Structure 1
Amino acid sequence: MFQVRVLLVDDQEAFMRALVAVVGATPNFDVVGRARTGEESLVLASEVNPDLVLMDVNLPGIDGLEATRRLRARSSPPVVVLLSTHDEDAGEQYLAESGAHEYVTKSAFGPQRLAECWSRSQG
């Protein structure tokens, strides 16, 4: 069975642990890397070649929107799902600015939502 390789990007340890738990509870998804900054996410993405990046919008250094733009500009870009504490209304602007596939509020994120986001990204 195909494993979806997931890179997690968040600077808050508590939410990073929550992301690890969500990915671990979702069949066929596997954490291949964890980054705390936008810059670190770009380096790690080159090393681990993720299928999916779960990207916090608010990061130290380059933010999640800029990191997503840079990831999406690569020759074989990963699927990027933006995560934030901001409400759903912010999502359209974030998607337009970054080229991410989806935006999900952190409070709404869980195994079912993760699987749905991946499924939609695959057409």
Structure 2
Amino acid sequence: MTIVRVLVVDDQAAFLHAMTSVVGETPGFEIVGSASSGEESLALAAGLLPDLVLMDVNLPGIDGLEATRRLLARDSPPVVLLLSTYDEDVGEHLVAESGAAAYLTKSAFGPDRLEAAWSTAVR
């Protein structure tokens, strides 16, 4: 079984912990790093080469949308899933603006949603 290497990005410790826990509970996924800002996510992604980045939309400094655009402009970019507390209907706009593979609300994020979003993104 191939393991999906995940970088989690959120500036709020509670959400960072929750997302990390979900990834840890999901078979086939493993955390390779975590970041609390857009700048830190870019630096870590360059060294860790994750398959998947779970990116909070609202971050200090470079926000999640800009960090996503920069990640996707790289050679062999990771899949990026945006997460936020915004309603699902806002997510379509954020995905279109950033180029991310999908948007998930933090309240709905769980192993089943993670697996489904990953499967859809890599088709």
- TM-score, length basis structure 1: 0.99
Give CA-to-partner distance per residue, 1:40-78, whole Å, 9 cap, x none.
Answer: 000000010000000000000010000000001011110
Amino acid at match of 1:41: S
* Residues 1:80 and 2:80 aligned together: yes
Matched position secondary structure for 1:104: strand
Give CA-to-partner distance per residue, 1:72-108, whole Å, 9 cap, x none.
Answer: 1011110000000010111111011100000001001
Distance 2:21 2:96 in 1: 29
- Consecutive unaligned residues of structure 1, counting only runs of 5 or more, are none
Distance 2:117 2:92 in 1: 15
- Consecutive unaligned residues of structure 2, counting only runs of 5 or more, are none
Distance 1:55 1:20 in 2: 12
Matched position secondary structure for 1:50: coil
Partner of residue 37, structure 2 = 37
Alignment of structure 1 residues 29-108 onto 2, 5 Å: 29-108=29-108
Partner of residue 14, structure 1 = 14
Distance 1:10 1:105 in 2: 13
* Residues 1:121 and 2:84 aligned together: no
- TM-score, length basis structure 2: 0.99
| TM-align CA RMSD | 0.5
Give % identity.
67
